[in-house]
Structure 1
Amino acid sequence: MSEHFNPHWECLLEEASTSPGRSRLFPHWNRQRPMVEPEGWSKQRALAALAIREVPFFGDPRSAYGVSGGQEFGINPKAPRPFHTLIHELGHICLGHTFVRHDEDITEDIGLKEFGADGVAYIFMHDLGVEEQMDVPHTQLLMRRRLAGRTPTENLKHRIYEATETIIEAGRLKAMV
């Protein structure tokens, strides 16, 4: 396991995947929050380190907050929590969901892919202390629904932890010596 792995991450992932959460009928669309980076972490530094490029949003603005393909992503200008969406899309890229590899297990369904990206964002937000940039109960509800009664495999959980660490470390501002 990686050196940044925090045993609390497993508890967070378990909490998120089993909590009943809270459902709302799209009230979050009209309460947009500004994108605020956590102290000690830089979006631009992370994007440069990961060789990921932000492009104009290229998805359906009525049904998606963000989209990603290859090493690119776009965030819907109307996304209510753009920083959460940023980390979710980086999660998809770092989990390898935006590429098809010859050795890829293409049986991983969209629900598990979305659970993985949600897991990365959920752990990231808690680990860096910016939970206010995420609707925690709604995210928990989505994660539980995306599992559809399944239990995440150990392999999927470790991939989520590794992607989370990759994103945290890529954007971490190094202390000046």
Structure 2
Amino acid sequence: MAAKAILRPIIYKDTNDQGDEKQHVKGFKMVNRMFEVSETQSEELPEYEPPTWNKERTLGALAIVQEDFEQLNGNMAGHSYNRNVAINPVAKYPFKTLVHELGHVVIGHTSEASMEEYRQHRGLMEFQANSTAYLALNELDATDRFDAAEIRGYIQTWIHDERPVDAAIKQVFGATDKILKAGIATNPET
């Protein structure tokens, strides 16, 4: 196998007067000795889990099943239906995606009865799921597991200039609270 060389952008972040974080490309750097994942051999890296929160406990407490991701769409980070979630193994931010999909389920977007509403109001529902992920990951001190600017861009793309009603925002806080409480052990021994 021959190693590859790539040009990697050198990115820096700054904040404008409104407090918005922006990314800028400063230049490029040649990186040698790059291999594709398929050209390497090693044990799987362990899935990230915050020290105070447990995925299996969360899934069990919320009666949600995580399935294998079988979609052929490589651009899809995850999906959920009924009380099932699936996370693409090559998702850029798999932990954030998991909590996003949990948000869809907990808020009720994935029930059979909600599917037509989801098609009509998908922007609001994507806003809710991603906001749930944003709040939960901040609470779990997992801010290195997502890019805040990407989350804001995702939400702005879906919500456009609409302002979610108060009930929709309350659902975000309620779902965040349920997901966090379901995964945090009340007894430190468990």
**CA apart distance, 1:153:** 0.9
**1:78 equivalenced with 2:51 (yes/no):** no
**CA apart distance, 1:63:** 2.0
Structure 2 distance, partners of 1:19, 1:58, is 40
Maintained 8 Å contact 1:57/1:66: yes
**1:97 equivalenced with 2:139 (yes/no):** no
Q: Give 1:87's aligned residue.
A: 99
SS at match of 1:114: helix
Task: Give the counterpart of 1:175 among 158, 162, 187.
Answer: 187
Structure 2 distance, partners of 1:93, 1:19, is 32
CA RMSD across the alignment = 2.6
Maintained 8 Å contact 2:82/2:112: no
Superposed CA deviations along residues 31-61 of structure 1, whole A, max 9, x for unmatched, are xx96421121100000010111111113343
Q: Give 1:133's aligned residue.
A: 145
Q: Which moved more, 1:92-101 or 1:152-161?
A: 92-101
Task: Give the counterpart of 1:52 among 54, 57, 64.
Answer: 64
Structure 2 distance, partners of 1:21, 1:116, is 21
Q: Give 2:78's aligned residue.
A: 66
Superposed CA deviations along residues 121-148 of structure 1, whole A, max 9, x for unmatched, are 0000111111110111111111122111
SS at match of 1:117: helix
Q: Give 2:159's aligned residue.
A: 147
SS at match of 2:172: helix
Q: Give 1:164's aligned residue.
A: 176
Maintained 8 Å contact 2:109/2:118: no
**CA apart distance, 1:106:** 6.0
Superposed CA deviations along residues 80-107 of structure 1, whole A, max 9, x for unmatched, are 11100100000000011111338x9568
Greater helix content: 1
Structure 2 distance, partners of 1:134, 1:72, is 22
Between Structure 1 and Structure 2, whose CA radius of gyration is higher?
A: 2
**CA apart distance, 1:108:** 5.1
Q: Across the two proteins, how many residue pairs are aligned to each other? A: 152
**1:38 equivalenced with 2:50 (yes/no):** yes
**1:117 equivalenced with 2:129 (yes/no):** yes
SS at match of 1:40: coil
Structure 1 distance, partners of 2:77, 2:62, is 21
TM-score of the superposition, structure 2-length normalised? 0.71
Q: Which amino acid counterpart does residue 146 of structure 1 have in structure 2?
A: W
Structure 1 distance, partners of 2:23, 2:160, is 16
Maintained 8 Å contact 1:21/1:139: no
| Alignment gaps of 5+ in structure 2 | 1-17, 25-35, 37-44
TM-score of the superposition, structure 1-length normalised? 0.76
Maintained 8 Å contact 2:136/2:180: yes
**CA apart distance, 1:176:** 3.8
SS at match of 1:111: helix
